[in-house]
Structure 1
């Protein structure tokens, strides 16, 4: 009878992992399933089942969970859209000064202004995108 309780608990815990994504409930579910197997095979007492569950949980948390988290964890976010533009090189199409200008970044034309309001960048020069401010690229020539 105890093996069935461990089996049901293991399935429910593993299924509940869908809602968390931390691999904690999956680890506990696997430990419960392992305990169900030991309990069914050896017909152990509740105290022995608890010790088996604790031992399997400890092994899974210490050894298996870190490996699973590295393998299946959330990958680092990849910058897209305007978040991907800072750090890119831009070509000045129209003189960039304090009150405007135009640059080409990855084939797209952007309104631009210099990072330092006193700077002016001439047509044809290369600049770096420092940030995007609304629809304006803030650019810098570099050192």
Structure 2
């Protein structure tokens, strides 16, 4: 253990790596902040501060990171559930354009740069080519759309 006695910063770096590994498993942005404190203590050890000062530096930096940085990082990486919808579910509520007449059984619309099979809900109004429509739901690979009187032709 002469290596750690001669290079105390190495022990702090090892602790930071362990904390980073734990963070990778938990993804809670707590252990990475503690790892930041350990890295600050490694820097303090490298410049020759005594062990007690290294511990104080580690605690102060970790607390500052937890209080100031963690809320920002957490807010950035955890968006509202509505904004996290991906894939087809993210298309509900979006506007598209009719390419081929949309009836209760068939039709085609351009939506998010792609051509989709489409139909209107039972009892809905038939949508004509060039008409703007809004996606109300998705059933398999078919979007269910409703007509919208305002709109222009797609580009």
Normalized against structure 1, the TM-score is what? 0.67
The residue number in structure 2 matching 1:134 is: 140
**Equivalent residue for 1:64?**
69
The residue correspondences of 1:76-95 to structure 2 (distance < 5 A) are 77=84, 79-80=86-87, 82-86=88-92, 87-91=94-98, 93-94=100-101
Q: Deviations over 1:8-32 (max 9, x none)?
A: 2123223443334443222211211
Aligned-pair Cα RMSD in Å: 3.3
- Contact kept, 8 Å, 2:116 with 2:143, in 1: the verdict is no
Partner Cα separation in structure 2 for residue 139 and residue 33 of structure 1: 55
1 or 2, which has the higher strand percentage? Answer: 1
Q: What CA distance in whole angstroms lies between the structure 2 residues aligned with 1:89 and 1:8?
A: 54
> Does structure 1 conserve the Cα–Cα contact (< 8 Å) formed by 2:127 and 2:147?
no
**How many residues are aligned here?**
135
Shift in CA distance, 8/79, structure 1 to aligned 2, threshold 3 Å: closer
Unaligned runs of 5+ in 1: none
Matched residues in 1 for 2:132 and 2:51: separation?
Answer: 74
